[in-house]
Structure 1
Amino acid sequence: MKKLDYRTFGDYTNELLSLEYDSHTIYEGYTDDLITSVTGDLELKLNYGRNIASSVVARKYGDHIVWIPKVPLDSDYKYITIIFNLKQFAELWTFLKYKVEDDLEIIKDISAEELKLMWMIWAREKEQIDDISDLVKSVKNNILALSTNLEHQDKIFYNFIESQWALKKNRVIVSEDNWESFIVYLDKGIYEEWEVFKKDNKDNLYIHLGNGYCAPI
């Protein structure tokens, strides 16, 4: 798992929080403004050190807590793949004086569509996205070319974009540096490259969810 760091400062009534994930600032602001559950989901209102909040919603995926994008997505929405193991979640929640067991109970299991949303958000154009069908259109419009190795897997790749997913295994795998990467080159999005698949040293192919996290195909 990626490293999670946090610290608070200031007085109790106006306590400020700095939250870092994998050495990147994902939240800076008042401690009380980070977490909400008013929508029925456990939600983090991340700002990445900016003045704009980009909310993510907690989902259970095996023995991990995955923070998924919250739709609709406006053109300024920022997202990075953030996954906690249960120990990280419990330690952060205890530090922030929340009841771990109570909040774990309200976290739903991730759906196949939500996992697909995590995968494709990296390749969208800079536009408003209202639902998964909007995201599919945006991603398809934004594709320029495939890496040479992905050209041999193009049917698998496009099928993942077009089709509904099925969750086969509830586990997250962290890729190793020497795993093979499959790249899509993008046109008008936030990123120029989208790392869609990873292949390990035994030729097992994985969906790359971002930030080195993978899901078995």
Structure 2
Amino acid sequence: MKTLRINCDNQNFILHPAGVAYWERKRMLLIADVHLGKITHFRKHGSAIPQASLHHNFNQLKSVASNFDSDTICFLGDLFHSYINNEWLLFKSWIETLNCKVVLISGNHDIIDEERYTQLGVAVLQEWELDGFLLTHHPEERDGFYNFSGHIHPGVELRGLGRQNLKLSCFYWKENQMIFPAFGVFTGNYIIKPKSGERIFVNTEDEVLEIALNV
């Protein structure tokens, strides 16, 4: 995997192709929109999704977490798609293997009772102000803070010289804000139209690349 180091508000962050970022100074792994339980939800309502897909998010979480020496893992909202289902047991087992602090910034899909997370040692916050950074689920602009968020599942559509096109998830960088791609599978992307001065870092299967903007 080829990562990419970027600077936000005079702090260094490492972007990983899985759509996560590592805050070097804080030794913190940031992950948005995992949507655990969504696969079980779809299968329950008749979608023909292979059972093996259920373990994809957890295998990805284990893999990414093992790549970084983190003191904290922070989920930027929508950790679970809806109510508790069988994937909660997998999540509980994964949490028990960690030797770091875990924080959830509550998102609009996070409807599981906070006490359930507390019992696992997971702290639940509505937002987190930390050393000039504002960690939220929904994108926000607040004076004096650089905002990290998720929620919109940003993606871009790349067009070739012919009629071929490719849609990829991305980190959407602005002067005082960066919106993270969705980590979870089957989440979909919202195709963005970046403006002048903004930056896009796309995620391929094994690399993070900054792409030039035609604006």
Q: Report the TM-score, using the length of structure 2 for normalisation.
A: 0.26
Which has the larger Rg?
A: 1
Higher relative contact order (CA 8 A, sep 6+): 2
